[in-house]
Copies of this chain bind each other. A is one copy, B any other.
Amino acid sequence: MDADYGIPRQLSDLQKLRSQYQPELPPCLQGTTVRVELRDATTAADPFGEHTIKRFFPHTYGQPLAHFLRATAKVPDAQIITEHPAIRVGVVFCGRQSPGGHNVIWGLHDALKVHNRKNILLGFLGGSEGLFAQKTLEITDDVLATYKNQGGYDMLGRTKDQIRTTEQVNAAMDACKTLKLDGLVIIGGVTSNTDAAHLAEKFAETKCPTKVVGVPVTLNGDLKNQFVEANVGFDTICKVNSQLISNVCTDALSAEKYYYFIRLMGRKASHVALECTLQSHPNMVILGEEVAASKLTIFDITQQICDAVQARAEHDKNHGVILLPEGLIESIPEVYALLQEIHGLLRQGVSSDKISSQLSPWASALFDFLPHFIRKQLLLHPESDDSAQLSQIETEKLIAHLVETEMNKRLKEGTYKGKKFNAICHFFGYQARGSLPSKFDCDYAYVLGHICYHILAARLNGYMATVTNLKNPANKWHCGAAPISAMMTVKRYGRGAGQASIGVPALHPATVDLKGRSYELLSQNATKFLLDDVYRNPGPLQFDGPGADAKAVTLCVEDQDYMGRIKKLQEYLDKVRAIVKPGCSQDVLKAALSAMASVTDILSVISSPSSASTPF
């Protein structure tokens, strides 16, 4: 770990300008009188898992949703927190860095200082390892100065970032106690927020006074559920990647001789690939969720792409751009099965050079069929979340190789009459992760930071900061908090040996919804994208003028705002109660009974476990 954390960085002119940008706060968070409304207890969206979740989270499951409202909001039960004793808060970056992370800390710091100048914010140096080792840096205006609206996690750094083993949990608790922390804010994705929930439960159980808060920050965009619409960093990553994809599309159209295969960082789910497709209109995208749903084999995928290449050649087009999500390889059933066998053997301690001889005949046949470079990558040890080392497996090269082989065969056989097939492969990820965050991510992260303070001021534990209605301008955003345990699901059908997570409730990466509006938009345009080269170039990330305020397409087409709707429903219920008070007419009462009976009947049917779809 080096001593460079938190030191002022030299900023370029553009960075300086950005460091002076002040994100807008929604009206409810302005000033120091924020009203908190705690209403109905939450329930897990996973009806099968509820029992298990309850068992794992006896202290923190079923807590109410929290809404943060402006002081003047007319909500009878909401309270204004007027006492703001000085508190001490720790904050830690966990997992892959994501643009905008610094702004969560900035927002939290501003909220702390505006409510009590004596509040203290400590940043843990070097991620979870810094937490365990109690290495801290006090966050001040001076420290923040050159990190406001800047990318990366370099103000504090991060490490491997897992808070899961008993040792790790105890070390975290020791740190919180020794440092007398009233709150611990964990900035990260699905894994880190799962850890945050378990830590919160542990703290509640052992009466450790530190409250734990999670913040949804992950470029993958896969921490999505009824309460969480978007993740900090996703917008920037998709904009930077879409710029590069568009540049490659222009290149393809100019040279007319290459097929570009571009793999996009984003872990198992295909959110980044889908969003980038909707932004830049490449010829084709293979979503992992489609492959899994249709159980496509690697040969099916190859044939599909070859057919596309052939169709384009018939229109005299010998170039193209094809996107692949990082996690595609694990969505292909037979490759996934092979990976599970390999990982099982690795866990048994079989050394990687001996594995191929111990595979089942079926897996062995597939393994031998694959090109040499990919075999080596498949033999890498799995990551801490049991997935393969997706960033290291060059799926784009594998697919390009298979397509080339098949196209050469078709050329020889005379079924394909186009030009010789040429592929160029790319992996876009690392070069986007450190980008200056987009305006959206700057704003969103800063607001989430403020919300973290209000969660702690309300003494809530095991919550995640949430903002909904994000597709609208910041002055219409709804700010709240939801218990992390309410977002969890329980996996029942584990594959392969040694999967420690079987049966343990966790946040699982949300996959692309194949029935959702974003996917529908893609389906409607797929043929046009494939054949007509309607490439769209959003251009480089701008901070002013056209495009600067553009939001993710998937965020805008999906009609979310779950938290807003929950509030709206509560208003209806309150109204019914107000109208049908004892003393109202018999007719009104009868009408109310009849209508409510019908409503409850419908809802019981819809929400019975037998009709609910499995959440994964």
16 contacts between A and B (CB under 8 A): A1-B256, A4-B533, A11-B537, A13-B546, A15-B537, A16-B546, A17-B545, A151-B247, A152-B253, A153-B254, A154-B253, A159-B257, A250-B435, A436-B537, A540-B541, A542-B542
Binary CB contact string for chain A from 255 to 293 against chain B (1 if under 8 A, 0 otherwise): 111001000000000000000000000000000000000
| CB pair B434 A254 closer than 8 Å | yes
| CB pair A433 B251 closer than 8 Å | yes
| CB pair B250 A10 closer than 8 Å | no
Q: Does A431 sit at the interface, judged by CB under 8 A?
A: yes
Task: Return the contact of A436 from the options B3, B435, B539 (Cβ within 8 A).
Answer: B539
> Within residues 231 to 265 of chain A, which ones have a CB less than 8 A from any CB in chain B?
240, 243-257, 260
Task: Return the contact of A14 from the options B97, B251, B546 (Cβ within 8 A).
Answer: B546
Q: Which 10 residue pairs of A and B lie closest in terms of their CB atoms, listed nearest first?
A: A250-B434, A13-B546, A152-B250, A247-B434, A14-B539, A153-B254, A251-B434, A154-B253, A244-B431, A540-B540
| CB pair A430 B260 closer than 8 Å | yes
Q: Does A158 sit at the interface, judged by CB under 8 A?
A: yes
Binary CB contact string for chain A from 14 to 43 against chain B (1 if under 8 A, 0 otherwise): 111110000000000000000000000000
| CB pair B158 A538 closer than 8 Å | no
| CB pair A12 B547 closer than 8 Å | yes
- Per the bound structure, the CA–CA distance linking A249 and B426 in Å amounts to 19
Nearest CB in chain B to that of A16: its residue: B546
Query: Do A547 and B13 form a contact, CB below 8 Å, given A97-B255, A158-B255, A542-B542?
Result: yes
| CB pair B14 A536 closer than 8 Å | no
Nearest CB in chain B: distance from A485 CB, A? 30
**Considering only CB atoms and an 8 Å cut-off, how many residues of chain A contact the other chain?**
73
This protein's copies in its complex: 2
B residues less than 8 Å from A316 (CB atoms) = 1-3
Query: Do A126 and B256 form a contact, CB below 8 Å, given A14-B545, A316-B2, A546-B17?
Result: yes
Nearest CB in chain B to that of A153: its residue: B254
B residues less than 8 Å from A243 (CB atoms) = 435, 540
Binary CB contact string for chain A from 405 to 437 against chain B (1 if under 8 A, 0 otherwise): 000000000000000000010101011111110
Query: Do A537 and B12 form a contact, CB below 8 Å, given A1-B316, A151-B247?
Result: yes
| CB pair A544 B546 closer than 8 Å | no
B residues less than 8 Å from A515 (CB atoms) = none
B residues less than 8 Å from A13 (CB atoms) = 546-547, 550
Nearest CB in chain B: distance from A138 CB, A? 20
| CB pair B157 A256 closer than 8 Å | yes
> Within residues 389 to 409 of chain A, which ones have a CB less than 8 A from any CB in chain B?
none
Query: Do A254 and B17 form a contact, CB below 8 Å, given A316-B2, A434-B246?
Result: no
Query: Do A254 and B154 form a contact, CB below 8 Å, given A317-B2, A431-B428, A546-B17?
Result: yes
Q: Which residues of A contact B (CB under 8 A)?
A: 1-4, 9-18, 93, 97, 126, 150-154, 157-159, 240, 243-257, 260, 315-317, 372-373, 424, 426, 428, 430-436, 533-547, 550
Nearest CB in chain B: distance from A389 CB, A? 12
- Per the bound structure, the CA–CA distance linking A18 and B546 in Å amounts to 10
**Candidate in A18, A151, A240, A255 with the most chain B CB atoms within 10 angstroms:** A255
- Per the bound structure, the CA–CA distance linking A533 and B539 in Å amounts to 29
B residues less than 8 Å from A543 (CB atoms) = 542, 545
| CB pair A251 B18 closer than 8 Å | no
| CB pair B10 A534 closer than 8 Å | yes
- Per the bound structure, the CA–CA distance linking A543 and B542 in Å amounts to 8
Nearest CB in chain B to that of A318: its residue: B2
B residues less than 8 Å from A159 (CB atoms) = 256-257
Query: Do A254 and B157 form a contact, CB below 8 Å, given A436-B540, A542-B542, A546-B14?
Result: yes
| CB pair A18 B539 closer than 8 Å | yes
Task: Return the contact of A97 from the options B126, B151, B251, B547 (Cβ within 8 A).
Answer: B251
- Per the bound structure, the CA–CA distance linking A428 and B251 in Å amounts to 13
**Candidate in A14, A18, A435, A536 with the most chain B CB atoms within 10 angstroms:** A14
B residues less than 8 Å from A152 (CB atoms) = 250-251, 253-254
| CB pair B540 A240 closer than 8 Å | yes
Nearest CB in chain B to that of A18: its residue: B539
| CB pair A544 B544 closer than 8 Å | yes
Nearest CB in chain B to that of A316: its residue: B2
| CB pair A431 B255 closer than 8 Å | no
Nearest CB in chain B: distance from A100 CB, A? 13
B residues less than 8 Å from A244 (CB atoms) = 244, 431
| CB pair B435 A247 closer than 8 Å | yes
- Per the bound structure, the CA–CA distance linking A1 and B316 in Å amounts to 6
| CB pair B2 A254 closer than 8 Å | no
B residues less than 8 Å from A317 (CB atoms) = 2
Nearest CB in chain B: distance from A427 CB, A? 8
| CB pair B248 A431 closer than 8 Å | yes
| CB pair B430 A251 closer than 8 Å | yes
Query: Do A431 and B247 form a contact, CB below 8 Å, given A15-B539, A253-B152, A542-B542?
Result: yes
Nearest CB in chain B to that of A317: its residue: B2
Query: Do A432 and B14 form a contact, CB below 8 Å, given A2-B316, A254-B154, A540-B541?
Result: no
Task: Return the contact of A2 from the options B246, B256, B539 (Cβ within 8 A).
Answer: B256
